[in-house]
Homo-oligomer: A and B are copies of this chain.
């Protein structure tokens, strides 16, 4: 549920017809850190902030104070109950976190992630960057909602970046990739998924469409007994979601996949069940 929608921001980029990636802070703890993250966003032209269940409530005076001249970004921030809702309308989501051990996700350097987002934004897609809570980092269920993981090449001896620094690096890379509007970025072949999109002439699935497919698939697999035993279900679900997220699915793909699941499972119910 979107609780607050005081305008989506992005005046500068809107002028250029390009909406920069959304910054999504998942369970941020200190208001000060939300404010300094907003400042880092402003440094590099990121303007749209979304907050998932900030620990100390919202609005937060400390966030406004720490944001200083970037306070308009804080005031316009949108509040969500869950990450899933916060990314529902986005076409491509990258989670900034250390490399997880037990999830299959593409791991991108910040420049690669920024190039990917720049290309997608130019096609009218909406992109988002997820940042986890200050202390605990991002949990695997949140990471599972992302298309890719972004990891800065920090020294392994001293890897900790604070929230504002992580936002700063991504903002820096985003802005560094920006080409002068109008000159037309050189089209590159950058992977089977993106090429697939162009060939098919359809748009990428939005996150809520993908999550709808996941719900559908998982409900059928619960019925058929695939997601058994219960203690293994969470990890199995994460792995399945990661597998299908790697498709870079279009909305047509999602319809096709849902059709497959319905056909295989619905037919089952039709013959052997209630229907």
Report which A residues bind B (CB closer than 8 A).
12, 39-40, 42-45, 69-70, 99, 103-112, 147-148, 151-155, 157-161, 164-165, 168-169, 172, 175-176, 185-186, 189-193, 195-196, 199-200, 217, 220-221, 223-226, 239-240, 242-243, 245-248, 250, 253, 256-257, 259-261, 263-268, 270-273
Contacts and interface: CB of A to CB of B under 8 A. Distances in A.
B261 A268 contact: no
The 8 residue pairs across chains A and B that have the minimum distance between CB atoms: A271-B272, A268-B268, A272-B272, A106-B192, A226-B263, A42-B158, A264-B264, A224-B267
A45 B112 CA distance: 21
A191 B190 CA distance: 7
14 contacts: A12-B155, A39-B158, A105-B199, A106-B189, A106-B195, A152-B172, A153-B175, A196-B242, A224-B263, A239-B256, A264-B268, A268-B272, A271-B271, A272-B272
A250 B112 CA distance: 23
B45 A155 contact: yes
A171 to B, nearest CB: 9
